[in-house]
Amino acid sequence: MRTDREKMEYDVVIVGAGPAGLSSSIKLKQLSKEHNIDISVCIVEKGPEVGAHILSGAVFETKALDELFPEWKKMSHPKMSPVIKEDFIFMNKQKSFKIPNFFLPQTMKNHKNYIISLSNMCRWLATEAENLGVEIYPGFAAKEILYDNENTVAGVATGDMGVDKNN
């Protein structure tokens, strides 16, 4: 087994190019520009492309997106369909019945929200992150957390790629 590995250094490494990792990288780059600090940010993503492992649709409340990109509606964002009707149905093995919306807590109501593809949202966020200078490496799964001599996280090791000529 080879012990000498290529090493890349970044100020911040994020594992996973899902909505949280991408949003974090974008916010870090936005804040670094606001404060005139240059930080390097990298995301490693196990999927062969961003969004490859995000298979679901979602009902999306835009508050976080409003904070990340206040002008997102003017940007070329992924398609979003507004929620125009919703029903809450309780089901068991024998029957089902609709619960009137006025009985539902506010957090269960989706008016003013959108139906989206999370995969498409991640791809769009990845493009925006890269536009800000974030480096994204799909196809590289983080396999191990690396610690320094003081037992502080120092980075991650990715899985081996390619062909080893020594074996």
Decide if 2 is inside a domain: no
The pLDDT value recorded for residue 165 is: 61
- pLDDT score of 120: 93
Residue 100 belongs to some domain of the structure: yes
Question: Which structural domain, as residue segments, surrounds residue 109?
Answer: 12-158
The contacts of residue 149 (CB under 8 Å, 6+ apart) are: none
Confirm whether 101 is domain-assigned: yes
The predicted pLDDT at position 167 comes to 57
* In a domain? residue 142: yes
Residue 43 has a pLDDT of 97
pTM: 0.82
Count Cβ atoms below 10 Å from residue 85 Cβ, excluding itself.
6
The residue among 159, 137, 167, 163 whose CA lies nearest residue 5 is 159
> Does a structural domain hold residue 5?
no
Q: pLDDT value at position 1? A: 41
Looking at the domain assignment, is residue 16 inside a domain?
yes
- Structural domain tally of the chain? 1
- How far is C-alpha 92 from the chain's CA centre? 34
Examine residue 151 and state whether it is found in any structural domain, yes or no: yes
Q: Is residue 163 part of a domain?
A: no
Q: Do the Cβ atoms of 11 and 31 come closer than 8 Å?
A: no
- Please list the ranges in the chain whose pLDDT falls under 50: 1-2
Sheet strand arrangement including 57-60: 57-60, 114-117, 81-82
Of 71, 7, 67, 74, residue with least CA distance to 42: 7
Q: How far is 54 from 148, CA to CA, in rounded Å? A: 33
The enclosing domain of 56 has a CATH number of 3.50.50.60
pLDDT in tens, 29-67: 999 999 999 999 999 999 999 999 888 888 899 999 999
